[in-house]
Amino acid sequence: MDARTVVEPVPHIQVESLTVVYEKPKAEGTLIAVSNVNLDIARGTFVTIVGPSGCGKSSLLLSIAGLVKPASGCIRVNGKPVSAPGRDRAVVFQDFALMPWRTVIDNVRFGLELQRPRGLTGGDLTERACRYVELVGLKGFEHYHPHQLSGGMRQRVGIARALAVDPEILLLDEPFGSLDAQTRDEMGSELLAIWERNKKTALFVTHGIDEAIFLADQIVVMARDPGRIIKIISVDLPRPRTVETTDSKRFIEYRRQIRECL
Amino acid sequence: MKTAPALAGITSFAVILLVWESAVRFGWINPFFVSEPSAIALSLSRAARSGELWHNLTVSLREFAIGYGLSVVIGVLAGALAGRFRTVEYALDPFLWFLYSAPLIAFYPIFVLWFGLGVPTVIAMTFLLSVTQIATSTLKGIQSVNPGLLRAARSFGATDRALLWKVVLPATVPMMMAGFRLGIGRALMGVVVGELFGATAGLGYSISYYGALLKTTDMIASLTVVVVLGVLCTQGLTAVEERFDSWRTF
Amino acid sequence: MFNYRTLVSTITVIAFLAVWEFAPRAGIVDATFTSQPTRVVAAGFEIIRTAGFLHDVSVSLSEFALGFTLAIAVGVPLGLVLGRFPVLRYVLDPPIMAIYATPHLALLPIIVVWLGIGMQSKIAVAFVSGVIPILVNAMAGVRGVDGSWIVAARSFSAREWDVFVKVILPASLPSVILGIRLGLSRAVLGVVVAEMYQSQAGVGNEIMRYGSEFRTDYLLFDVLLVSLFGLTATSAVRALEERLWTAGE
């Protein structure tokens, strides 16, 4: 513990006793996806949530996003409870969820159009969208349609769309899950590069252990039946992270720690 | 058998009939225009008892059976030939396209010219309206057979005949069934509309006859029989289709 | 352009026309029953010049235009709304499917009883014939919308109206246009047949008149004219459909 800290600032995200329950589609009864989870996330940290299928990591993320209503418990952002989507949070989805009839630039504008930030004209929105298209490395592809892009490029559009609304919190739900291994690694490095520029609070769900370690300041390890947090690991690897980082002794140690839990 | 949708369907109709009956009883709607379920039921039972309903039904069904039956036989044959021989397909193409898209019912006066008023014309129209649907669906079905399957069968030494019965036919069935289902709708229309114009018996004739007498109740009674027939045929064939469709993954 | 397919198709059509033209001349069939291509064309030139023709065409066209526009105006919004709200669907699906399974022209006599033999009944027939496919396809279009798009929109705080306008509408547009194309030929057929059944004017009226006068060539010209109109209109819509599919795919 750091002796300088006298008063802890309010954590950016507070999850208190969160329980998320789903109706079982074809059977009787309910499925407890998340059971009594407590979690505090500090501002500006990159947190990965890792665990096997069905451990509730996506449900946790989507609850924070306000897209899933918890059965009990509370989620606070900046101390205030949230139960619906808001301007402070933006989501990047595993299946990209791009509108196929919109071009790249129009897809990036999508979130902005819906949120209607004050004082910005349509032209302003397009200009902002352009900046983010460039940021994710898709300059020149503004007028392409999603079906003309590769998986990696489509997800960059998804990331640009989320960043364009300038949220405080970036929520990524297995964003690279649909991509092949090589693209996934590239995208991970690029995501970090983009993140370094503005250090938003980021929550990244994955079931890849190496990916979880590589990206994170903090790793939340979850288990299933019922979905709960079993370990939180602080990652003490230097940034910027490179390929060499994955070969370091500490990286291998973290990997071992996580493997033991699961 | 899916019970939930069937239940929902029955409830839905029950509600509609209830609302309909009340609306007329309370004077919201003039019964002249839409009649009421109770009166229609009475008309139907009267027609059933007097034998009128059965007579009309059998006339229409016979025309339907002959017309549709012919279109199935000829349609499947034509579609099969077209599927097998490219040249036949290209040759038949313009005619099938025309028969499908042109308003065939408008040709009615010509049919009368050729076949005379009454049953033969109705059968002719029924046949022409449904044959294209069945031929096209059979053709598409044969064309959709995965060539990989044919290759595999050949590698096991299958003769042309075996190929036809063991590979092509089973694979074609789903699309053929869809064609049969769609063709029934058009055939039914051919029968009813054909009878509207120039018949002396049948459901369509009955509707037209009572229409001329402005007897809405009896009109709707006959119309109800037509609707029931349409729904039964469509649902029946959909059920058959689904049974054949179970192995489809595409 | 000139491949085997076009060649065979063209040859068969020409062969057909040739048989049609020369069989009566050879005495195999009576021209009163079948007419001939040349006679149909000649009849066409005659018809176009008659005063009644323009009147009949404008009557039919306006009946179709009014009825079908109404069908679009009612069918599209209603179909979209019904598709959006599943609750309504369970109640309204059975009757809608029942109507879809019924030959729409069987409703002709009752529409005539309600609205008489003037233009109103034909407009009503065009409406009824056209609205059903439009409604059913609009509903199907909404149901086919990928749920993940709606979730994405919600994640950006979209309100229900936004979801409708920015996701559901564009996503269901191809299905709506398909419904319009299907409804179009049904509406054209409906107007013509309604005029044939009971009317005082219109192309269908002409058709019945020529039929009763055994003027086969005139009759055929009118019928082919109607076919041509229907085909042109549906081709135009199909072209629109193709453009939409490539943009959204």
Which CATH architecture describes the domain B37-245? Orthogonal Bundle (1.10)
Burial readout A1-28 (b: 16 or more C-beta within 10 A, e: otherwise): eeeeeeeeeebbbbbeebbbbeeeeeee
Confidence of residue C248 (pLDDT cuts 50, 70, 90): low
| Contact flag B101-C185 (C-beta cutoff 8 Å) | yes
Between C92 and C155, name the one with better pLDDT: C155
pLDDT (tens digit per residue) in C112-171: 888 988 899 999 999 999 999 999 899 989 988 888 999 999 999 998 899 999 999 999
* Average confidence (pLDDT) over A30-48: 90
The pLDDT tens digits of the residues spanning A64-119 come to 999 988 999 999 999 889 988 988 999 999 989 998 889 999 999 998 888 887 77
Neighbours of C33 (CB within 10 A): 12
Which residues of chain B have a CB within 8 Å of the CB of C95? 12-13, 16
pLDDT surpassing 80 at residue A121: yes
**Yes or no, beta carbons of C156 and A93 under 8 Å apart:** no
Please give the residue of chain C at the shortest CA–CA distance from B190. Answer: C103
Which of C151, C156, C249 is nearest residue A110 as measured by Cβ atoms?
C156
Alpha carbon C2 to its chain's center:
31
DSSP-H helix ranges across C85-168? 86-101, 108-115, 119-143, 147-155, 160-163
What's the confidence (pLDDT) of residue B152? Answer: 78
Which token pair is C229? 């109109």
The predicted pLDDT at position A8 comes to 63
Residue of C nearest to A161 (CA): C156
Question: Looking at residue B168, what DSSP letter applies?
Answer: I
Among the partner-chain residues C148, C166, C173, the one whose CB lies closest to the CB of A93 is C148
Query: Once rounded to an integer, what is the mean pLDDT over residues A240-249?
Result: 85
Asked whether the beta carbons of C230 and C186 are under 8 A apart, the reply is no
Angle between the N-to-C axes of helices C86-101 and B216-245, in degrees from 0 to 180, rounded to the nearest 10: 110
pLDDT at A7: 57
CB C207 within 8 A of CB C196: yes
DSSP string, A142-192: TT--GGGS-HHHHHHHHHHHHHHT--SEEEEESTTTTS-HHHHHHHHHHHH
Helix axes C51-84, C203-212, angle to 10 degrees: 130
* Residue B238 distance to chain C (closest CA, Å): 12
Digit-coded pLDDT (tens) for C195-208: 998 888 889 988 98
- Give me the pLDDT at residue B1, please: 45
Query: Strands A218-223, A72-77: parallel, antiparallel or unpaired by DSSP?
Result: unpaired
Looking at CA atoms only, how far is residue C165 from chain B in angstroms? 30
Do A100 and C151 make contact, defined as CB atoms within 8 angstroms? no
Q: What is the pLDDT of residue B5?
A: 65
Residues of A in contact with C146 (CB under 8 A): 97
pLDDT digits (tens, 9 = 90+) for A169-201: 999 999 999 899 889 989 999 999 999 888 899
What pLDDT, on the 0 to 100 scale, is given for residue C127?
Answer: 95
By CA distance, what is B91's nearest residue in C? Answer: C9
| CB-based contacts of C120-123 (< 8 A; 24+ apart in sequence) | C121/C194, C121/C198, C122/C60, C122/C63, C122/C67, C122/C190, C122/C191, C122/C194, C122/C195, C122/C199, C122/C202, C123/C63, C123/C66, C123/C67, C123/C70
Measure in Å the smallest separation between the Cα of B212 and chain C Cα atoms.
Answer: 8
Q: Report helix, strand or coil for C26.
A: coil
pLDDT, averaged across chain C: 88
Q: Say what the pLDDT of residue B10 is.
A: 77
Residue A91: its pLDDT value, please?
Answer: 93
Domain C35-248 has CATH 2.40.170.20: no
- Count CB atoms within 10 A of the CB of residue B20: 17
C164 touches chain A (CB under 8 A): no
Cis, peptide link before residue B31, omega less than 30° from 0: no
CB-nearest to A91 from C149, C155, C167 is: C155
Where exactly are the structural domains of chain C? 1-31, 35-248
- Restricting to C residues 46-75, those with a Cβ less than 8 Å away from any Cβ of B are none
Among A32-41, A61-70, A246-255, B151-160, the least confident range: B151-160
Question: Could you tell me which residue, A244 or A188, shows the higher pLDDT?
Answer: A188
Tokens 């398909």, residue located? C178
With H, G, I as helix, E, B as strand and everything else as coil, classify residue C245.
helix
List average pLDDT for each run of 10 residues in chain B, which is 250 residues long.
65 83 80 81 86 88 93 92 87 87 85 86 91 91 81 75 76 85 88 86 88 86 88 83 64
Whether C235 contacts chain B with CB within 8 A: no
**Residue-level pLDDT at B154:** 75
Return residues 133-152 of C near B (CB < 8 Å): none
Query: Where would I find the H helices in chain B?
Result: 3-25, 31-34, 37-50, 52-84, 86-101, 108-115, 119-143, 147-155, 160-163, 169-198, 203-212, 216-245
Pairing mode of beta strands A80-81, A72-77? antiparallel
Going by beta carbons, is chain B in contact with chain A, meaning 3 or more pairs sit under 8 Å apart? no
* Dihedral over Cα of B94, B96, B101, B102: its sign: positive
Q: Could you tell me the residue ranges of all domains in chain B? A: 37-245
**CB-CB under 8 Å, B216 with C113:** yes
What are the chain C neighbours of B231 within 8 Å (beta carbons)?
97-98, 101-102
Residue with tokens 């998804």: A158
B and C: number of Cβ contacts within 8 A: 154
Closest Cβ–Cβ partner in C154, C167, C248 for A67: C154
Cα–Cα nearest to C167, from A111, A130, A132, A138: A111
Crossing angle between the packed helical segments B216-245 and B52-84, to the nearest 10 degrees: 40
- Here the tokens at position B214 are 């402005």
Structure tokens at A95: 């299946």
Measure C237 CA to nearest chain A CA, in Å.
19
Inter-chain CB proximity A111 and C167 less than 8 Å:
no
Note the pLDDT tens digit of each residue in C61-73. Answer: 999 999 999 999 9
CA distance B247 to chain C (A): 22
Distance (Å) of CA B236 to CA A37, A59, C194 = 53, 43, 30
d(C-alpha A49, C-alpha A57), whole Å:
6
What pairs with residue A40 in β-bridges? Answer: A14
Asked if residue C76 has pLDDT above 80, the reply is yes
pLDDT of residue C72: 96
Higher pLDDT, C15 or A261: C15
How large is the ipTM? 0.82
> In chain C, what residues touch A87 (CB-CB under 8 Å)?
157
Q: Which of the pair, B159 or A228, is modelled with greater confidence?
A: A228
Domains and CATH numbers, chain A: 11-88+170-181+200-262 (3.40.50.300), 94-166 (no CATH)
* pTM of the model as a whole: 0.81
Contacts of B118 (CB under 8 A, 6+ apart): B198, B199, B200
Confidence of residue C87 (pLDDT cuts 50, 70, 90): confident
pLDDT of residue B141: 87
Q: Give the number of other Cβ atoms within 10 Å of residue A92's Cβ.
A: 27
For residue A169, which residues of chain C lie inside 8 Å, CB to CB?
Answer: none
Interface of C with A in 114-153 (CB under 8 A): 146, 148-149, 151-153
Q: Nearest CA of chain A to the CA of C88: how many Å?
A: 22
Identify all chain C residues contacting B92, using CB atoms and an 8 Å cutoff: 12
How is residue C98 written in tokens?
A: 């029942």
Tell me whether residue C149 is exposed, middle or buried, using C-beta atoms within 10 angstroms of its C-beta: 0 to 12, 13 to 18, 19 or more.
Answer: buried
> C8: which chain B residues are within 8 Å (Cβ-Cβ)?
87, 90-91
